[in-house]
Amino acid sequence: MLVLARKKGESIMIGDQIEIVILGSEGDTIRVGIKAPKQVEVFRKEIYQHIQESNKEATASSISPMNLSKLINKSK
């Protein structure tokens, strides 16, 4: 892990297109701004983990062709 110290208004670059900007702090909370291309998805870690778990559950559950056709017919 790379550890850097930054002050309010200072930045960290990740590659050529992602910039992390320190916006300020209040107590134990640090406000961070992220400038990244629109095609780069940025999530809080707990949200990212929830998405990953949901994706694993979705791929683990099997859908029979019969159930799939019922779902398709309901949407029509």
Q: Please, what are the averages of pLDDT over each run of 10 residues along the chain (76 residues)?
A: 96 98 96 97 96 86 69 66
Contact 17, 40 (CB under 8 A): yes
Q: Nearest 5°: CA angle at 43, between 63 and 54?
A: 20
* Predicted pLDDT of residue 46: 97
* Predicted pLDDT of residue 55: 87
